[in-house]
Amino acid sequence: MNGWRLRGTEGDLARALDLLHVHARVEAVWEGSGFCEVWLAGPLPAFDRIAVEVSPMAPPEGPPPTGLERDAVIRVGPGLVVRPPWVAPLPEFDGIELVVPRAMAFGSGEHGSTQAALGALDTSWDSDVASFADVGTGSGILLLYAARRGCPMLLGCDIDPAAVAAARELVPAARVVEGGAAHLGQSVDCVVANMTGAELAAELPAIRAVWNGRGPLVLSGLRATEVDTIERAVGLSAVDAVDVAGFAARVYRTPSR
């Protein structure tokens, strides 16, 4: 495991962590004022156009960080929690519990964009949703939510083969393919996509093509400055909004719904 100290402004550090969560296997993150320390199982990606100062850290004394020390149950909403399998469940909790291990794919529940996506999906879920697609599925955590809600048809896609493998393992009932939304091959009632703003903008035509409008469209991973641009591209006004740790999720419905 390799340790790195990043220094920069709050905004640049946030963008750097966004990139790491998507393009590296982050084992541990410790944040301070003007800096953060990250431990990665693998190489450090390049921070193109992100003004952070990077320096390697000496191996720690004693056992190295495992990334598990501060893990806890994440309460997404009153009736929805996420936890890794090595954390004990909440006593007497009778809502939806998503058990997701940290693996080689993004989306184990600790990141703000994942929590925003889950929160928006949870508040907008329709009981009659018969088909669901997760575009850029990562770990498959959003597919797992739809499975727990009883959706009979589950589709997912991701351009990362490791994510495809992780999602298939987490949700065996789902059909998960490598590629973008255009590779799903059919339309569905509800679509969710948790990506960066640039990725959403590029994928949005294909996302709209597979969404039949019978259920909600949930777009997450946006920064506040990106919301209006994406909303204009969607061509609809958001009917619900969930913001977590600087990440925005927006819910859209067709006018008939």
Which is the CATH superfamily of the domain at 74-252? Answer: Vaccinia Virus protein VP39 (3.40.50.150)
State how far the Cα of 132 lies from the Cα of 141, in Å rounded to an integer. 13
Range picked from 97-106, 108-117, 240-249 for highest mean pLDDT: 240-249
Amino acid 104: pLDDT? 46
- Among the residues of the chain, which ranges form H helices? 10-23, 112-124, 141-148, 161-170, 197-210, 227-234
Residue 118 in contact with residue 133, Cβ under 8 Å?
no
CB 154 within 8 A of CB 129: no
Name the pTM for this structure: 0.77
Assign 42 a pLDDT band (cuts: 50, 70, 90): confident
Task: Look up tokens 């955590």; give the residue.
Answer: 141
- Centre a 10 Å sphere on the Cβ of residue 147 and count the other Cβ atoms it contains: 19
C-alpha to C-alpha distance for 74 and 136, rounded to whole angstroms: 22
Mind listing the pLDDT tens digit for each residue in 233-253? 999 999 999 999 889 999 999
Strand partners, 82: 74, 98
Maximum mean pLDDT: which of 7-11, 18-22, 60-64, 166-170: 166-170
Question: Would you kindly state where each structural domain of the chain is located, as residue ranges?
Answer: 2-56, 74-252
Distances (CA, A) of 31 to 5, 16, 53, 109: 10, 12, 15, 18
125-155 pLDDT, tens digit each = 999 999 999 999 988 999 999 999 999 999 9
What is the separation of C-alpha 133 from the centre of its chain, rounded to a whole number of angstroms?
Answer: 14
Three-state DSSP at 46 gives: coil
